[in-house]
Amino acid sequence: MLKCLLVVATKKIYMKKYLLYIICCIFFSAIIISCNNNVGEKKETFADSLNRKWWKEAVVYQIYPRSFKDSDGDGVGDLKGIISKLDYIKSLGVTAVWLNPIYSSPNDDNGYDVSDYRNIMKDFGTMDDFNALLKGMHDRGIKLVMDIVVNHSSDEHEWFKQSRSSRTSPYRDYYHWWNAERGKPPYRYSLFDVNHDAWKYDSVTNAYYLHYFSRKQPDLNWENPTLRQEIYAMMRYWADKGVDGFRLDAFQFAAKDTTWPVLPPDLKTDFVKYYAMGDGLHDYLKEMNKEVFSKYDVMSVAEGAGKTLEDAHNLVDEERHELGMAYPFDAVDLAKYPSTPGGEQYSILKFKEIFSKLDSAFAEKGWLSVFLSNHDQSRLVTRFGNDAPEFRDPSAKMLITFLMSMRGTPYYYNGDELGMTNIRFDKIEDYRDVATLNEYQYQKTHSGDLAEFIKRKAFESRDNGRTPFQWDTTTNAGFSSGTPWIKVNPNYAAINAAAQDKDANSVLNYFRKMVQLRKDNLALVYGKYTLLDKDNPAVYAYTREFNGKKFLVLLNFTAKDATVKTGIDISKAKLLINNYSTASANGSLKPYEAVVYEL
């Protein structure tokens, strides 16, 4: 353009011709500049709309340390045991591990009763073991997410010992107390108490303390700013060590109405309605974000996500600076103990509706965890699939296909990658879980039907998900050379990691393939989700689309042949994975068949 101006100045004679030239130059330059701007803008919008984060692209593997691998023969899993299995964990392709609590604890609730937040539980090892574990994970490109249990502590924590010692202790307000001269406090339901009563009388100071969980898990008072700062400092202590994220246990219950109003009787059946998302919770999370999360590149997720999708969304809306990821229970809560033998455990239509609603709530902003099992649930394949011998394998693979192809961060609980099943204890003596044991006592003292209770627990007790990991066919499934703290599922002879590792068609190797498929395709992480054949009562069908790539996922959630109508021509589609040796055609699907196509 400059050149063209010079020519105009010196050779007036060609004025007209060059005037035309100038106009063209200006016109085309304007187009080029505007195009460049648009490209820039597009790039920005593209990246912005993704808001990529490592924890969004992660596949989280949850390890229950007590049941994973015992290295010293005391019957309890430990950190050295996990270290010895790091190559196995790496081989799964997972990129992050969520470790259930490993802090000092008297183990009333298997570590969810912390007596020292800055030390390691003796059963699990030492801080040196922890440092070695963290390094071993990082060396393998795996992130570590810690479980932070701060709705309550153990009654053996120094804070509680001080707090209960006198009404004037500086630690008194670290917990919730009700002085007995005021009479009995308004009823609060406790999830784990033998009497369902969350207030426990303590004669030392003639007062009641609050415990939403067991008596040995007194609730911390989040209204106390000194306590809050102690907790943030503790979290920074772990973040400074290099941990990569935090899962906040029961945190939706942390903020309480300390005017202690009388609550309606349905509190017992719907405690979440009254306990979750109390006033102040968002402020505590904002403060925690400022004091901890914002200072590190960490994943942050809290157990539970309130009562509504709006609650869930508000916890993770990026503009609010609270948490990174929501963890709602809507879908997990669907699988119920069937009241009639062989009865429906959950409705597939409802299942699809819940996941579709969740997806839409987080489509624009915020992020979601995708999971169907954890240490508080019985086994994935038993609850959501079918653990009968002929269906265990295809249904476990179908569930893997589902969890690895949804938008959100998938979580996989240890053992589910083998399709481990419920042990179905038939007597109370076999149980170890405080929730099951104390509820049994409650039923006993309240004339409950104990035989029915045992039948129900065989389906739903969390101990089903806590039996030792099945490594191989040696004694105790290779978990421990001692007596395991809880019985090993006798089916380890058939279901174990060593056998599945060797079998190219095993659930384990299917899991590895599906994890890789997700990692290779951002569309499966960020892609738009569209539900197809919505009213199909057997098949869950959807597409995932992103940046010119489109995937079709077809999942038969039943034990019968099924058909699906997607209206999509798959004649030219590429079959990426399926859980039978050949994929069915013409919209028909075999029992629990799962297929993923690239369109």
Among the listed residues 109, 129, 393, 416, the single contact to ligand NOJ using CB under 6 A: 109
Closest CA to 413 of 383, 377, 386, 457: 377
Options 202, 223, 376, 501; binder of ligand NOJ; rule CB under 6 A: 376
Task: Indicate the length of the chain as a whole number.
Answer: 599
Going 256 to 261 to 264 to 268, the CA torsion angle's sign is: positive
What tokens appear for 408 in the block?
């959100």
Shortest distance (Å) from residue 220 CB to ligand NOJ: 12
Binding letters toward ligand NOJ, positions 433-472, x by CB under 6 A: ----------------------------------------
| Residue 147 C-beta: closest distance to ligand NOJ, Å | 8
Alpha-carbon separation of residue 549 from 244, 475, 524, 552, 571 (angstroms)? 31, 48, 10, 10, 17
Question: How far is 187 from 197, CA to CA, in rounded Å?
Answer: 7
Task: Provide the sign of the torsion angle of the four alpha carbons 528, 532, 534, 539, taken in this order.
Answer: negative
Catalytic residue among 303, 311, 433, 593: 303
70 or 249, CB closer to ligand NOJ? 249
Two tokens, residue 232: 């943030």
Is 452 marked active-site?
no
C-alpha 109/C-alpha 466 separation (Å) is 12
Smallest separation (angstroms) from ligand NOJ to the CB of 582: 41
Rounded to whole angstroms, the Cα distance separating 337 from 352 reads 19
Q: Are 433 and 461 in contact (CB under 8 A)?
A: yes
Q: How far apart are CA 19 and CA 178, in angstroms?
A: 90
Closer to ligand NOJ by CB, 149 or 305: give it: 149
In the complex, least distance from residue 568 CB atom to ligand NOJ, rounded to whole angstroms = 40
Residue with the shortest CB distance to ligand NOJ: 112
Interior angle at CA 461, CA 446 and CA 418, nearest 5 = 170
**What number of chain residues touch ligand NOJ (CB under 6 A)?**
9
Q: Which of residues 184-213 bind ligand NOJ (CB under 6 A)?
A: 213
- Determine phi and psi for 425, rounding to 5 degrees: -60, 140
- Cβ-based nearer residue to ligand NOJ, 145 or 398: 145
How far is the C-alpha of 479 from the C-alpha of 468, rounded, in Å? 6
Report yes or no: 484 and 66 within 8 Å, Cβ to Cβ. Answer: no
Closest to ligand NOJ by CB, 82 vs 332, is 332
Residue 303 annotated in active site: yes
Which of 78, 109, 113, 249 is flagged as catalytic?
Answer: 249
Is residue 533 a contact point for ligand NOJ (CB under 6 A)?
no
In 3D space, the residue among 562, 520, 525, 565 whose CA is nearest the CA of residue 544 turns out to be 525
| The binder of ligand NOJ chosen from 112, 199, 232, 540 (CB under 6 A) | 112
**Per-residue contact track with ligand NOJ, 290 to 329, x per CB under 6 A?**
-------------x--------------------------
Query: Closest distance between ligand NOJ and the C-beta of residue 356, in Å?
Result: 26
Considering the complex, what minimum distance in angstroms separates the CB of residue 101 from ligand NOJ?
Answer: 8
Q: How many CB atoms lie within 10 A of CB 531?
A: 16
Cβ atoms within 10 Å, residue 501: 17
Closer CB to ligand NOJ, residue 109 or residue 311? 109
Asked if 234 is part of the footprint of ligand NOJ (rule: CB under 6 A), the reply reads: no
248 beta partners: 148, 302
Q: CB of 192: closest distance to ligand NOJ in angstroms?
A: 7
Q: Is 249 in the site for ligand NOJ (CB under 6 A)?
A: yes
Tell which positions 125-154 bind ligand NOJ, by CB under 6 A.
149
Q: Catalytic residues, which ones?
A: 249, 303
Contact positions toward ligand NOJ, by CB under 6 A? 109, 112, 149, 213, 249-250, 303, 375-376
